[in-house]
Structure 1
């Protein structure tokens, strides 16, 4: 088994599920542990390596709308599938469990009142509630979400997936800047017995925000934090959130204000589980990237074999060695790929990258040089996932789901799915795809 396969197995078997086997049920629990099963999708892009692959998805069939669930707000995060139910969270700060066959609500948990645009210094989501994709922890049978509440409060909640009971509730604020200026868009990561939450700013880059990662245990205790050492900005907002590589979490960081002294912005950072910065990469163009808002922070890092691919707003793709990111200008290779916004997926020797003019399939040569194998339909601008012999990606401008050929990117099937949020990404399970929409969740049959 090659190193990438070993790392993916580790991510699925240990990182996503927590270190070690789950404890047995006890009377004190009041419920049984919810084990993961075939078809489950417990975190953004399936696993903590963010491979985005549903290896057991049924072969592509005729696409159709199985159901549409109208919830109490838009669903910006990727829906999860755990224990025979679809989990979704809304911008009205409500977590739902839905029947995967019908979309009927099995339970819901309303966390509080979301922030309104009128009370925020800028932004484009109104109301602003739960935006980042939730993450499931098998050891506690809880799904974790970060809710933004009126007044700018940020609250981490852990909801029991069997009952809908809110079992953990704790403030988890960004450590620096004005809390009203921060938005939590990046997916949450459950790693061992801790939950990791990254913060960026609001659309418009206004007011005093500083990119950070904060963490608490799955019991809601022992908070830790890391802040980018910049005077302002450097948001960590790419939808994929923390990407786990062994014992390190990789985050893409946006532009900071400095153009004279390097401040850890416009970078890929590797953080330890205790949130110490242990490695970094930044382009040697970092100062110009910061000045022109052409940073790496728009797309999550991609693990492919022993490499990390970093692509952002400038369009240059940088290939890094996963255990030595290279510092400033220390990439193994680089090439022009695309302006990338969102989260990638991987299968074998190929990475499927989200691009604003259609996804790319990228392979890495023996010397590290990245090569674009194909460039698909120019309107499909969402974050791709893989399964059933297809690459699944949306055009969130026009509300269309595409199934593309993994070989050449040609369109195998497509379906209108309605209004979608930015960076929407299909969840794949069984013979369905699930998408968060501006009104709730849509299920697509034939996947």
Structure 2
């Protein structure tokens, strides 16, 4: 990623401060629950290891939304105690590829309101599965202000009233029209997103909009010039630590700090003004780039363990990195705290194997820190031994690690704890009250018919044929919701055939005893406990 400095633009907007004290058990306000993308709903008390065997599908609702490419609905968000014209309710929100934001009553799935953003321009490039040219970023909720922020297909930011859908500010241009942007994040009145894939000629990198002053909001960009056009495409967008730093992994391209190029790296930048503070780059970055094994396909997760602030990330290579969030790669920028052996993708293919989506972190009642990794494809022959296994997993699995201390250095390292049964294939997991919830998305993850390893230095791109949208859509598999014991991986529940179709680059929300999911057919699902 080549850093081209900051671009400043003054826009009209309103405040977006997110008070940390507003979260409660009925809220899931951002992708991965919190700005750190931990996936841990620490206030959830209704669901438990003992109760989740009583889960059932409470409702499913078909929304009027037309899928584009492989995308349909964003990951759900939930806000409780929302005042609507029908009274005070808990609402679940999803944005759709028809450029619509929906709000549903969590009790019944009844549509409370929807808002369609009418386009003022049309994309000039052809749609394909990497560039749907529509809404792709999961919105974010500012509970204190009673607003939900969304980026439309045209790259415009709106803020809508949680209870009515009325526009409270906007439109304001945030990113390039019809770009591929990722989940919004919000801390201290500043909104963040990341952009990838060079769709519609977008400028790749991290974007921030400071909306604290309604009369003078400011947009800043940390632009990246990536040779492969990958950008930063972790599911959660930018990760924000409690230490005042933003983290993002970058895709294939050139690594040369002397010219400010930081491809295949993890960047730490300052909140607000997006100044580069630190970076980590694997020593084998040349091979990572050569074989298209970039680490930007996952969002880092930030979490604290004792006296360490930690960051973890993995990528298509199937290797997991644990870093000190204050010094990512130590003095040489190439030395993390700990690197696992290869966990998956022995053939080093560029598609459908390795670590994808995003990592999750949990701290149990004894203070033990856990790290959860969604792995696509077979387990590597080089993977460490897991003390607990839960059956065959040919398509994918969840791997769980404990954070422990190395005997000699007393620095944090990762200790294998358990590996799940089969997921085809796993999305980023969420954790609530000792239960891990995971979605097996059922997607056709092939990108070309041949598969296998590619070498970008020798490949004849004229003969390299990607699968079409129609070929990838022609998929009979279904997504399945699983509940596992977060300490052992033991299966406690699965939704079987309750979800009608597959889903792409998705995730879950957990709030107030319910789990929410979406599928490619633009349906929203709510799972909850049966009555005793």
Same fold (TM over 0.5): yes
Q: Which residue of 2 aligns with 1:343?
A: 358
- Tell me the CA shift for residue 369 of structure 1: 2.9
- Choose 1 or 2 for highest CA Rg: 2
Deviation per residue, 1:12-59 (Å, 9 max, x gap): xxxx963688xxxxxxxxxxxxx5543211111111112212232412
- Tell me the CA shift for residue 172 of structure 1: 1.3
- Tell me the CA shift for residue 162 of structure 1: 2.0
Equivalent residues in 2 for 1:106-185, closer than 5 Å: 106-113=112-119, 119-121=124-126, 123-124=128-129, 128-148=133-153, 153-168=154-169, 169-174=171-176, 182-184=179-181
- Tell me the CA shift for residue 136 of structure 1: 0.9
Q: TM-score w.r.t. structure 1 length?
A: 0.83
Aligned-partner Cα distance in 1 for 2:63–2:75: 15
SS in 2 for 1:354: strand
SS in 2 for 1:365: strand
- Tell me the CA shift for residue 365 of structure 1: 2.8
Aligned-partner Cα distance in 2 for 1:272–1:41: 25
Q: 1:250 aligns with which of 244, 247, 250?
A: 247
Contact 2:319/2:355 (8 A) holds in 1: no
Q: Which residue of 1 aligns with 2:196?
A: 200
SS in 2 for 1:53: coil
Deviation per residue, 1:90-128 (Å, 9 max, x gap): 111111110001111111111134998x84355317864
**Residues 423, 355 of structure 1: CA spacing in aligned structure 2 closer, same or farther, 3 A cutoff?**
farther
Aligned-partner Cα distance in 2 for 1:267–1:322: 14
C-alpha RMSD over aligned residues: 2.6
SS in 2 for 1:42: coil
Any gaps of 5 or more consecutive residues in structure 1?
A: 1-15, 22-34
Any gaps of 5 or more consecutive residues in structure 2?
A: 1-15, 81-89, 345-353, 364-368, 377-395, 407-411, 443-477
- Tell me the CA shift for residue 346 of structure 1: 1.3
Residue 394 (str. 1) matches residue 439 (str. 2): yes
Q: Which residue of 1 aligns with 2:298?
A: 299
Q: 1:217 aligns with which of 210, 221, 227?
A: 210
**Residues 65, 126 of structure 1: CA spacing in aligned structure 2 closer, same or farther, 3 A cutoff?**
farther
Q: 2:38 aligns with which of 51, 54, 65?
A: 51
SS in 1 for 2:290: helix
Q: TM-score w.r.t. structure 2 length?
A: 0.71
Aligned-partner Cα distance in 2 for 1:207–1:162: 34
SS in 2 for 1:369: strand
SS in 2 for 1:288: helix
Deviation per residue, 1:44-86 (Å, 9 max, x gap): 1111112212232412242221111111225442211113111
Q: Which residue of 1 aligns with 2:524?
A: 441
- Tell me the CA shift for residue 350 of structure 1: 0.3
Q: 2:77 aligns with which of 66, 76, 80?
A: 80
Equivalent residues in 2 for 1:296-445, closer than 5 Å: 296-304=295-303, 305=305, 306-326=309-329, 328-336=333-341, 337-338=343-344, 339-348=354-363, 349-356=369-376, 357-367=396-406, 368-379=412-423, 380-397=425-442, 398-415=478-495, 416=497, 417-438=499-520, 439-445=522-528
